[in-house]
Chains A and B, each alone.
Chain A
Amino acid sequence: MEFKRKNIISIAELSADEILHILDTASSMKEVTSRNMKKVPTLKGITVVNLFFEPSTRTRSSFEIAEKRLSADILNFTSSQSSVVKGESLSDTAKNLESMGASIIVMRHSMSGAPWVLARETSASIINAGDGRHEHPSQSLLDLFTIRQVKGEIKNLNVLIVGDILNSRVARSNIHGLLKLGAKIKLVGPGSLVPDYFEQPGVKIFYNLEKALENADVIIMLRVQKERKSLEYFPSIREYSRFYGLTGEKLKIAKNDVTIMHPGPINRGVEMTSEVADDSRSVILDQVTNGIAVRMAMLYLSASWRSNNL
C-alpha cells in the first residue's frame, strides 16, 4: 500500500486502512529501536524542522530521537509565544523554512487549525505534533499501537477516556482513531468537561467513573490542567481526583486484564495513585517507547510520499 498523503495533520481524515498502514510500518521501526546500533540511513540528507510554538519536552524529544534514528538533518525552532507576539506571521515562517530546504516540518502550535495555515503556504510536508485543542495524531497513533500490542485487536474493545475531554486534543484524536478501528468508547469526566457534542454512535458519556469502569478493557487517563482557568470547570483538584482519579479499588471494577494508559506526564495522586501508575497492567512506559517507533513511521511515510510524488 502506498502512502498517499502529503501531510499528517489529523486522525479524522485518515481511513482505517491508512491508520493500520502507519501502525504496521511502526512495527518495522520498533525493531530498529531495539538494536544496539539504533540508526538506519533512510532519511539521510533530508531536512526535518521541529517547529514548536508551545513548550514540550516529551513530544519534541520523541520526534527528535525518531528523526536521528532515521539519520535526518534536524533544525529546531522553539518559541513559547505565538507568531503574533513574535511578529512574524505563520505563513511567512512557513515560506522561510521552505527556502531553507525543509522537506518535513513537525509542528506544535497552541491554536487549533494552525497546521492548515502552514500547509497552505508551503510545499513541505507537515506533521502535526499537536494543534490547540484539535488533534495530536502521533499520540493517538502510539496509543493505538500500544493497545494493539497488548490486546491484539482493537475491534470491540471497551475503551475509557477519562478527564478533561473538552480541552484535550489527545481525546479528540483517540476518539477518531478508536472509532475507525471499531472500539467502543466511554468518555468520563465532570459535566463541564464532557459536553453532549461528543455524543455519536459508538461513544457514550459518563459523569460517574465507577459506572463507566464496568467491563473496561483499556483506560486512557488524561492529564488534568492545574492552572487557574480550570477552576471554572471544577472546584478543586481534591474534588476532581476524588471523583475521577483512578485508584486500586476502582480498578477492581474493570476487567482483570485491563490496560492502563496515560499520555504523560502523570500527576501522581491526581489522575491516578502511584499504586495504579506502577501497576503491572500499566503500559505508560511502553507508550513512550512506542512513541519513537510510531513517529519514525510517520516521518518515513511522509518522506516516501515526497519521494514518490515530487
Chain B
Amino acid sequence: MKTLIKNGKVIDPSQKIEKKMNILIDGKIIKDYPVNIKELEKRKDLKVIDAKGLIVVPGLIDIHVHLREPGFEYKETIKTGTLSAAAGGFTSIACMPNTNPINDNASVTDYILLKARTEGIVNVLPIGAITKSEEGSELAEIGEMYKAGCVAISDDGVPVTNSNLMRRAMEYVKAFNIPVIVHAEDTYLSDDGVMNEGKISTMLGLKGIPNASEEVMIARDIFLSELTGTDLHICHVSTEGSVRVIKEAKKRGVKVTAEATPHHFLLTDEEVGNYNTNAKMNPPLRSSKDVKAINKGLKDGTLDVIATDHAPHSEDEKNVEFDIAPFGIVGLETALPLSLKLVEDKVLTINQVIEKLTINPAKIVNSDKGTLKKNKIADITIFDPNDEYNIDKNNFYSKGKNTPFQDWKVRGKVKYTIVSGKVVYTN
C-alpha cells in the first residue's frame, strides 16, 4: 500500500526542512520525496492525501502521559488514551508507571505493551518506575524493565526523597543507557499544598506549594546527575527559579533536558478563580512572573520539550472540595493548538514548536522517530494551522474531560494522524 501526501507544507526540524513538498509512503516507511507526481498519481494502488493549505510534520511525540491502565480504567484505558493521542496528532506517547499495580517490573511492562499492541492505535513507550511501588526505598528491577521495553525510568507523581537512593538509581541505570525522568518536588516543603503559594492561595485559604519546593529538588537532581554522569530529564518545569537553575547547568555541560506543559506556559494561578478544580495540578499553575520565565526558557532552548502530563480523572472525582480533588488535567487533544499560540505570541517559530514536539522528545527516549527522513517509519501528522474553533471537552476522545481550556478559541486542527504508514485518525 502506497500513500502520497501532496501539496503540503512540510516542517521537519530533524532535517531542517520547511518547504512545500510531497512525501511518498511505501508500506510502513517513508520512501521518497517525489517532485513530479503526475505519473505517480495515475497508479491504482496509491492512496492520495491532498495536503493543500495544511502542514505536514513528523508524528508528534508526548513523553509524559498517564494512560491509567492497568488499575484505573474508569479514568482512561490504553484504548481511549491512544485514541485521544491520535486525535491530538500524537503518534508516540510515553506512559508513566503510576498505574495500579505500578509498572515496577517486567510483567506489568509486558501487559502494557500487549494492550498497546492489541487495543492501542499509536505507539506506546512505557516508562518504568525507579523504585518498587514508587515508595522510594528500594530500586525496582530496572534492567528487566529495560529488556521488556521501557524507554526510561521515573517515579512520576512523587520524588525519590532519599538522595542517596536517587544517586544509586542514577548510577545503576547507566548500564542501560536510558534517562532518569524526574518529578522534582520536596514534599516536605509542599506539605499538603494544593495550589501555588501566593496572594491568591492566601486569600482563598488554600495551602500553597512554594516555588522552592520544585527548585530545591531540581537543583539536587542536577548535582546528582553531574556526580553520576547520567542523563536527567526534568518533568513539567513551572518556576522561574527552576528555569534559571537548568539554564546554568546546561551551560556547565550537565546532561540535563527539561519539559514544559501548555498549561504552564499559558496559565497563572489566577485560573483557580472560585476553587476551579480543573485548574488543580502538580506542579501547580504559578505566577505571571513564572509563566514569563517558562516562555523565555522555551525560547532560548533551556526547555527542550513540550509535553502534556495528560492526567485524566472522572468528573465525579473532580466535582468535590478543592482540597480533596485529585491533581491533574488532560492535554493530548489540546496540546497542538495551544502550542501554536507560542507562534502567535512570537515566542517560538513554528519550526521550533514542532522541534519540541518531535525530534527533541524522540532523542530523550532514544527513539528513532520524530523525523521524516527517508527509510524511517512513517509516523506523520497533518494539520490545518488556520482552522479556528472552540475547544469543547464534550468532543474529547479521552475519558477525561478535566481541562481548564474549555471554550478557548484556538487555531490548529489535526486532519490526519498516520502511524506506520496507516491513517489511524482523520478529521
Taking the complex as a whole, does A directly touch B, i.e. does some CB pair lie under 8 Å apart? yes
Q: Is the CB of B202 within 8 A of A134?
A: no
Known: A112-B275, A113-B274, A116-B275. A90 touches B321 (CB 8 A): yes
Q: How far is the CA of A116 from the CA of B322 in the complex (A)?
A: 10
Which residues of chain B are near A84, meaning CB under 8 Å?
A: 320, 324
B316 contacts the other chain (CB 8 A): yes
Q: How far is the CA of A195 from the CA of B274 in the complex (A)?
A: 22
Q: Which residue of A lies closest to B206 (CB)?
A: A112
Q: Is the CB of B324 within 8 A of A111?
A: yes
Instruction: Give a binary string over B269-289; 1 marks a CB under 8 Å from any A CB, 0 the rest.
Output: 000001100000000000000
A282 contacts the other chain (CB 8 A): no
Known: A89-B316, A197-B198, A197-B199. A114 touches B206 (CB 8 A): no
B205 contacts the other chain (CB 8 A): yes
Q: Is the CB of B321 within 8 A of A133?
A: no
Least CB distance, A8 to chain B, in whole angstroms = 15
Least CB distance, B75 to chain A, in whole angstroms = 17
Q: Is the CB of B275 within 8 A of A90?
A: no
Q: How far is the CA of A208 from the CA of B198 in the complex (A)?
A: 23
Which residues of chain B are near A114, meaning CB under 8 Å?
A: 321
Q: Is the CB of A132 within 8 A of B203?
A: no
Q: Is the CB of B205 within 8 A of A135?
A: yes
Instruction: Give a binary string over B307-346; 1 marks a CB under 8 Å from any A CB, 0 the rest.
Output: 0000000001001111110000000000000000000000
Q: How far is the CA of A251 from the CA of B78 in the complex (A)?
A: 67
Most A CB within 10 A of own CB, among B205, B274, B320, B323: B205
User: A111 touches which one: B197, B201, B316, B322 (CB < 8 A)?
Assistant: B322
Q: Is the CB of B320 within 8 A of A112?
A: no
Least CB distance, A204 to chain B, in whole angstroms = 16
Q: How far is the CA of A90 from the CA of B318 in the complex (A)?
A: 12
B204 contacts the other chain (CB 8 A): yes
A198 contacts the other chain (CB 8 A): yes
Which residues of chain B are near A135, meaning CB under 8 Å?
A: 205
Which residues of chain A are near B207, meaning CB under 8 Å?
A: 133
Q: How far is the CA of A172 from the CA of B203 in the complex (A)?
A: 7
Which residues of chain A are near B197, meaning CB under 8 Å?
A: 197
Q: How far is the CA of A134 from the CA of B322 in the complex (A)?
A: 12
Q: Is the CB of B204 within 8 A of A134?
A: yes
Least CB distance, A13 to chain B, in whole angstroms = 9
- Interface size range on B against A: 10 to 19
Q: Which residue of B lies closest to A53 (CB)?
A: B321
Instruction: Give a binary string over B243-278; 1 marks a CB under 8 Å from any A CB, 0 the rest.
Output: 000000000000000000000000000000011000
Q: How far is the CA of A134 from the CA of B323 in the complex (A)?
A: 12
Which residues of chain B are near A82, meaning CB under 8 Å?
A: 321, 324
Which residues of chain A are near B324, meaning CB under 8 Å?
A: 82, 84, 111
Q: Is the CB of A112 within 8 A of B205?
A: yes
Q: Is the CB of A112 within 8 A of B202?
A: no
Q: Which residue of B lies closest to A118 (CB)?
A: B321
Chain A, range 83-133, C-beta contacts under 8 Å to B:
83-84, 89-91, 109, 111-114, 116-117, 131-133
A231 contacts the other chain (CB 8 A): no
Known: A89-B316, A116-B274. A111 touches B321 (CB 8 A): yes
Q: Which residue of B lies closest to A134 (CB)?
A: B205
Q: How far is the CA of A198 from the CA of B205 in the complex (A)?
A: 11
User: A89 touches which one: B203, B320, B322 (CB < 8 A)?
Assistant: B320
Chain A, range 130-148, C-beta contacts under 8 Å to B:
131-135
Which residues of chain A are near B205, meaning CB under 8 Å?
A: 112-113, 131-135, 169, 172
Q: How far is the CA of A91 from the CA of B202 in the complex (A)?
A: 25
Q: How far is the CA of A207 from the CA of B316 in the complex (A)?
A: 44
Q: Is the CB of A117 within 8 A of B206?
A: no
Q: How far is the CA of A133 from the CA of B194 in the complex (A)?
A: 13
Instruction: Give a binary string over B195-232; 1 marks a CB under 8 Å from any A CB, 0 the rest.
Output: 00111011111110000000000000000000000000
Which residues of chain B are near A172, meaning CB under 8 Å?
A: 203, 205
Q: How far is the CA of A90 from the CA of B206 in the complex (A)?
A: 18
Q: How far is the CA of A117 from the CA of B199 in the complex (A)?
A: 22
Least CB distance, B280 to chain A, in whole angstroms = 11
Known: A82-B324, A197-B198. A112 touches B204 (CB 8 A): yes
Which residues of chain B are near A285, meaning CB under 8 Å?
A: none
Known: A113-B204, A134-B205. A91 touches B323 (CB 8 A): no
Q: Is the CB of B274 within 8 A of A111?
A: no
Q: Is the CB of B319 within 8 A of A91?
A: yes
Which residues of chain A are near B320, meaning CB under 8 Å?
A: 83-84, 89-91, 117
| B residues in contact (CB < 8 Å) with A | 197-199, 201-207, 274-275, 316, 319-324
| A residues in contact (CB < 8 Å) with B | 12, 82-84, 89-91, 109, 111-114, 116-117, 131-135, 166, 169, 172, 195, 197-198
- For the complex of A and B, the 7 pairs showing the least CB-CB separation, nearest first, are A133-B205, A113-B275, A134-B205, A112-B205, A197-B202, A111-B321, A111-B323
For this complex, 10 residue pairs linking A to B, each with C-beta atoms less than 8 Å apart, are A83-B320, A83-B321, A89-B319, A89-B320, A111-B322, A111-B323, A113-B274, A132-B323, A133-B205, A197-B203
